[in-house]
A and B are shown apart, each in its own frame.
Chain A
């Protein structure tokens, strides 16, 4: 399914918003045809990671302070100027966000919006771009695409809007799709349709995908690789199947315990909730960031923050001292 050099390789990425280190040393890579999920709760840094990759951290709010973001054929994106970066965003990386309306301009017709990157980056004429937009709408499963192309965004349902955004994202045949919670705002039957669409497009176009979500069940459905983030760092990463079946980090174990399923907790009928809340990034505890909520914390966890400790091959790693003991 995946082969060769990575399409995207992120190394030691750090992003600060003033004194707050929202992304604190994140590394991962994703290959052609592969889906990497970044999973975490609010404040974990998963969306800040996505914005950092795209060079979209608002200058007034914060900046990427360290690390490299290498995209195949483009080198380190952090070294590109704004003009080249705009080209990367339109052509090499397709973006899909949670709220499709935030990616669509309410006063332009759907077809002209999908065709815009083709005119800007591929030099297509207005007419060619429109014809291609209709084809793209058909490809993402929008019924009567020729008519829908003439609609304005408000005339489409939420699911259809997200399909239109996906059509726009794949218009220039990008090497990578970066999707931030693309199904969170959708109903479950529509979510299933969109997830199936992503997989279908991936099979057909061989595109690599970084998919950000808070939902471990979505990870189980679509991910090849997974990064679990907590308070700005990756606490566990590896093949999705392995991480879900045999989680190494107590936070991953805790998150899995929180997912409701029939008969959870046996006769006591309780979920295995993680006590406490995510710490404020402005006031992180010393040592391991998860220690105050961790059932296994011991002396060393308070003194020293564990690095990502690798276990076995295959890039499996966990940021926990107990991983070291187990290895």
Chain B
């Protein structure tokens, strides 16, 4: 038995050049992912949460090397994916797959389900019989009737199409699946079905998930650990229970306060976060959250805080995490 984590990400960066003007001059860099460390154990679910533009999807794609990282290291099942050859990378990719948000857009409308689900078998050179048997088994596994293997995607409902996407991801017995907003395009009642299916598959197959979502309540229910992203960086990481019970970073607090909930009437009235995400082309100095942070002091404007270990598996990128917590978040905004 190995105790090494299934996935290890160190200092991952994805930067995009930005071109403007008639000559398409390079005017700057967007640091979509800016120095991220992650680890994921077998069978574990790590959720990435954050608002649009925080870099969570880019991070998910970079982990799978669907996006070439600018810097950093991704090790999967003990292999450094940046250092291996093409054949080995392809081999690793059998075991790390992805489920997309929009099943409509991620399924080829001209392919039959058996070809969508079976494509991975072709690429990896399995026989016709193996392929047909595999497709039937996968369809049953995700709750689709195997008799419908010759149908086209448009003949299925949204929820069923997402099941097809899941079956495709599972074809080559992966150990790790990146789920990028897998239920946000679905109706509420269908969302619950797909969430249950993902949980069932995880228990049955021992899958590890990197679960990208903007829905904090879903994440609280679904994940073992949570990483909160803001402007390309992880600002807090914690076991799911701890994050919701004791959020340490002011941004996590704000996200939780802003999330509507069934029992908490008028959550949004409790001073929602002011302002909007700053332009990633010109991120603020120091702590990038300081312009929207009610607790910001001079140090926050000058010096970027590291992701500091706060014990019990919790880390937060905030100079004042302990102070804020000691006062239950009631610390008066410090005017410096």
Distance (Å) between the CB of B265 and the closest chain A CB?
6
Contact, CB under 8 Å: B188 / A259: yes
Complex: how many Å from CA A196 to CA B258?
10
Residues of A contacting B260 with CB < 8 Å? 191-192, 195, 215, 217-218, 220-221
7 residue pairs from A and B, CB less than 8 Å apart: A188-B255, A192-B267, A217-B259, A217-B261, A271-B196, A272-B192, A277-B159
Which stretch, B61-69, B168-176, B268-276, touches the partner chain A?
B268-276
Interface residues of A in 258-274 (CB under 8 A from B): 258-264, 269-274
> Is A302's beta carbon under 8 Å from chain B?
no
Complex: how many Å from CA A163 to CA B274?
14
Interface string of A222-263 (1 = CB under 8 A from B): 000000000000000000010010000000001111111111
Complex: how many Å from CA A298 to CA B323?
59
Contact, CB under 8 Å: B261 / A188: no
Residues of A contacting B52 with CB < 8 Å? 187
Contact, CB under 8 Å: A189 / B273: yes
> Is A135's beta carbon under 8 Å from chain B?
no
A214, A217, A241 pick with most chain B CB within 10 angstroms? A217
> Is A159's beta carbon under 8 Å from chain B?
yes
Contact of A269 among B199, B214, B266 (CB under 8 A): B199
- Apart from A157-B277, A214-B188, A220-B260, what 17 extra A-B contacts exist at CB < 8 Å? A189-B273, A190-B276, A191-B260, A192-B257, A217-B217, A217-B259, A221-B260, A221-B265, A256-B262, A259-B262, A261-B217, A261-B220, A263-B221, A270-B199, A272-B192, A273-B192, A275-B193
- Total interface residues on B, CB under 8 Å, equals 45
Residues of B contacting A244 with CB < 8 Å? 262
Complex: how many Å from CA A220 to CA B261?
7
> Is A41's beta carbon under 8 Å from chain B?
yes
> Is A193's beta carbon under 8 Å from chain B?
yes
Contact, CB under 8 Å: B188 / A216: yes
Contact of B268 among A196, A270, A273, A278 (CB under 8 A): A196
Complex: how many Å from CA A126 to CA B8?
61
> Is B58's beta carbon under 8 Å from chain A?
no
Distance (Å) between the CB of A171 and the closest chain B CB?
24
> Is B189's beta carbon under 8 Å from chain A?
yes
Contact, CB under 8 Å: B269 / A278: no
Contact, CB under 8 Å: B220 / A188: no
Complex: how many Å from CA A62 to CA B189?
28
Complex: how many Å from CA A272 to CA B195?
10
**A contacts, CB < 8 Å to B:** 41-42, 157, 159-160, 187-193, 195-196, 199, 214-218, 220-221, 241, 244, 254-264, 269-275, 277-278
Contact, CB under 8 Å: B220 / A196: no
Contact status of A271 and B195, CB under 8 A, knowing A188-B258, A189-B51, A195-B268 = yes
Contact of B254 among A157, A189, A191, A241 (CB under 8 A): A189
Contact, CB under 8 Å: B255 / A189: yes
Complex: how many Å from CA A274 to CA B192?
8
Interface string of B252-296 (1 = CB under 8 A from A): 001101111111111111001100110000000000000000000
Interface string of B40-62 (1 = CB under 8 A from A): 00000000000110000000000
Complex: how many Å from CA A59 to CA B310?
62
Complex: how many Å from CA A264 to CA B265?
20
Complex: how many Å from CA A268 to CA B47?
20
Interface residues of B in 196-240 (CB under 8 A from A): 196, 199-200, 214-218, 220-222
Complex: how many Å from CA A263 to CA B272?
26
Contact, CB under 8 Å: A220 / B268: no
Contact, CB under 8 Å: B190 / A271: no
Contact, CB under 8 Å: A199 / B269: yes
> Is B244's beta carbon under 8 Å from chain A?
yes
Distance (Å) between the CB of A91 and the closest chain B CB?
29
Interface string of B129-153 (1 = CB under 8 A from A): 0000000000000000000000000
Contact, CB under 8 Å: B273 / A258: no
Complex: how many Å from CA A189 to CA B208?
29
> Is B191's beta carbon under 8 Å from chain A?
yes
Contact of A41 among B160, B187, B218, B257 (CB under 8 A): B187
Residues of B contacting A191 with CB < 8 Å? 258, 260, 268
Residues of B contacting A257 with CB < 8 Å? 192
